[in-house]
């Protein structure tokens, strides 16, 4: 999952909030070095994903789901 925030400060505040409320999820958040307002999160559990989405609901974050790539023509 990709999270894009409107500012670095908003991203930092979101990470602090997740660290306080769900440390196990916070350890899965990785900030992008090339795009300072973007973070990636790899979660295997649907409940953790829903919890993260609910925490992000109050901010102006844009959430992009993972994309599965396939070879064209493969079945």
pLDDT digits (tens, 9 = 90+) for 18-74: 999 999 999 999 999 999 999 999 988 899 999 999 998 877 899 988 777 778 876
pLDDT of residue 8: 94
Q: Are 43 and 28 in contact (CB under 8 A)?
A: yes
Inform me whether the pLDDT recorded for 11 exceeds 90.
Answer: yes
Q: How confident is the model at residue 17 (pLDDT cuts 50, 70, 90)?
A: very high
Confidence (pTM): 0.80
8 A C-beta contact, residue 25 and residue 47: no
């Amino acid at each position: 999952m990709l999270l894009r925030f409107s500012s670095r400060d908003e991203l930092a505040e979101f990470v602090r909030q997740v660290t306080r409320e769900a440390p196990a999820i916070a350890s899965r958040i990785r900030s992008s070095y090339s795009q300072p307002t973007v973070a990636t999160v790899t979660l295997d559990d649907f409940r953790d994903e829903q919890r993260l989405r609910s925490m992000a609901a109050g901010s102006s974050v844009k959430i992009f789901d993972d994309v599965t790539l396939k070879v064209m023509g493969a079945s």
